[in-house]
Amino acid sequence: MLLAMEFRGEMRRSCSDSYIVQIGKMGIRLVWHILHLLVSVFYVVLGMTHVAESYLISSGLWKKYRAFNKGKVRYLAIVVESEEAYQTSNIIKLLLWLESIGVKHICLYDAEGIMKKSKEAILEKLDNATLFEKASEHDKLLSENCMTLEFASFSDGKEAVAKAANFLLREYMTSTALNGNQEENTFTEAQMADALKAIGCNGPEPDLLLVYGPVRCHLGFPAWRIRYTEIVHMGPLKLMRYGSLIKTIYKFTMVRQNFGK
């Protein structure tokens, strides 16, 4: 009889503990769902705010974005994630937006060179555009009235580094043969820059670099060309907005850059 009573007591305690555990789990699950709902609502409201802000800017209702110094963006780079680089229509649309804003010199980059393969199709849709390499550096009329496009990929940067290294090696071997100096030489950043310039692979340094895609990085864009470049992540290419583009360029023109000595 005593054993039976003790057994019933143990059963009641175990059932009570089980209920407490279940209630605790339900409480944690409820808190998790509430937090998830709050975060989802926050991002929905944030997205709606961005859409409304973009509309106000693109429609010209927000006065401060109507006029700004576009001349500060002398060279703009657009980095697109390779999968999104197939969206040629969106890329053309983006270029037309930039042309309407007043940005004339643009570098289009994706790691796999998808846009480079489509450059003829892109140029056909733009009435006043030419390839950067065909434009004369000293032709002021061309630079003022025509959009110049440079198409780049990861292989360009890799090839440039290899050519610059070979150039420096030849220079070192020539110097060693003439001077008889067999000491180990250390190449500096300035020498590398001079080598890239000598082989014609230095390219202009963009003032602003816009990244379209899920990743917040420059996706292999030549590092020696973005030492002082402002990098801004713009989100997926399919969700690009004219107002967001104007806002980004406006914010860049309002920033004072200190390069130091």
Task: Identify the residue with better confidence: 196 or 88.
Answer: 88
Q: Which two tokens stand for residue 39?
A: 């975060």
Rounded CA separation 169/167 (Å): 5
Q: pLDDT (tens digit, 9 = 90+) per residue, 224-242?
A: 788 889 999 999 999 999 9
**Global model pTM greater than 0.75:** no
Residue 214 exposure: Cα atoms within 13 Å on the Cβ side? 3
Element (H, E) at 212: strand 208-212
Q: pLDDT (tens digit, 9 = 90+) per residue, 155-210?
A: 776 676 666 667 666 766 666 655 655 556 666 666 666 666 665 566 788 999 99
Scan for tokens 């009641």, then name that residue: 12
Q: What end-to-end distance do the CA atoms of the chain give, in Å?
A: 94
pLDDT band at 72 (very low <50, low <70, confident <90, very high): confident
Q: pLDDT (tens digit, 9 = 90+) per residue, 48-70?
A: 777 777 777 777 767 777 777 88
Helices 242-254, 2-58: inter-axial angle, 10-degree rounding: 80
DSSP symbol at 138: T
Round the average pLDDT of the chain to a whole number and report it. 79
